A and B are shown apart, each in its own frame.
Chain A
Amino acid sequence: QKEVEQDPGPLSVPEGAIVSLNCTYSNSAFQYFMWYRQYSRKGPELLMYTYSSGNKEDGRFTAQVDKSSKYISLFIRDSQPSDSATYLCAMSEGSSNTGKLIFGQGTTLQVKP
């Protein structure tokens, strides 16, 4: 069983839709939760990070972490064609000894004009 599960999609939505992306995980030691966006032929770019449980909002993006359910979400409001990319969840234990991130497989999102 993978430590982090993420539906690879693809997910196609019309412009302006609310997008919900999700990951589940099995390691209860994870403390830091991140969402990365990756455009084709580029490296992952950090969108948001959250420590422990709770919500975090940044513009059109909202990240939620539910540690009791081992479930994290990213919501994109008023989605734009420029949001079309692969979205990767990533997690870490936050140990000072290693910065190892565990990634989900990534969800490919297409926002149609």
Chain B
Amino acid sequence: EAGVTQFPSHSVIEKGQTVTLRCDPISGHDNLYWYRRVMGKEIKFLLHFVKESKQDESGMPNNRFLAERTGGTYSTLKVQPAELEDSGVYFCASSQTTVYGYTFGSGTRLTVV
């Protein structure tokens, strides 16, 4: 079974630019999550998709972040325009249930300079 795939693995962009992160969940997993870890802090929830619908987006920091999940398959997280404080590791996870058993991807390390 293929795991959760994220790309790019690394991205370095300048402040004010746009970056799009992509996540391919495990096939058949309706639940898809985005999390972020800023340096020195804990991993924090951003949002939760059930199929193509946003179930919970309470963790999205502001309207510069836009998440989509096309046809309930892969998901993208766009940051526009990027700010310095957006630097961190962005993790995607997928699961069959909403309680436990998430499988995380290896993350996208975003650096905004």
Instruction: Tell me the A residues contacting B by CB distance below 8 Å.
Output: 2, 4, 6, 32, 34, 36, 41-46, 49, 88, 92, 94-106
User: B104 touching A100 by the CB < 8 A rule?
Assistant: no
Known: A2-B42, A34-B100, A92-B100. A100 touches B48 (CB 8 A): yes
Q: Is the CB of A46 within 8 A of B45?
A: no
Q: Give the contact stretch, choosing among B14-22, B52-60, B66-74, B78-86.
A: B52-60
Q: Across the interface, do A45 and B33 meet the contact criterion of CB distance under 8 Å? A: no
Q: Number of contact residues on B: which range applies?
A: 20 to 34
- The residue on B at minimum CB distance from A36 is B104
Cα distance, A20 to B56, chains bound together (Å): 34
Would you call B100 and A42 a contact (CB within 8 A)? no
Residues of A within 8 A of B48 (CB): 98-100
Known: A42-B107, A99-B99. 7 other contacts (CB 8 A): A4-B42, A42-B106, A43-B4, A94-B99, A98-B56, A99-B31, A100-B48
Q: How far is the CB of B33 from chain A (nearest CB, A)?
A: 6
Question: Given contacts A97-B55, A104-B42, are A32 and B107 in contact (CB under 8 A)?
Answer: no
Tell whether, in the assembled complex, residue A99 and residue B42 are in contact, meaning their CB atoms are under 8 Å apart: no
Q: How far is the CB of A82 from chain B (nearest CB, A)?
A: 18
Chain B residues, Cβ within 8 Å of A105 = 41-42
Of the candidates B41, B58, B95, B106, which one forms a contact with A43 in the assembled complex, judged by CB atoms under 8 Å apart?
A: B106
| Cβ contact within 8 Å between A101 and B106 | no
Q: How far is the CA of A41 from the CA of B105 in the complex (A)?
A: 10
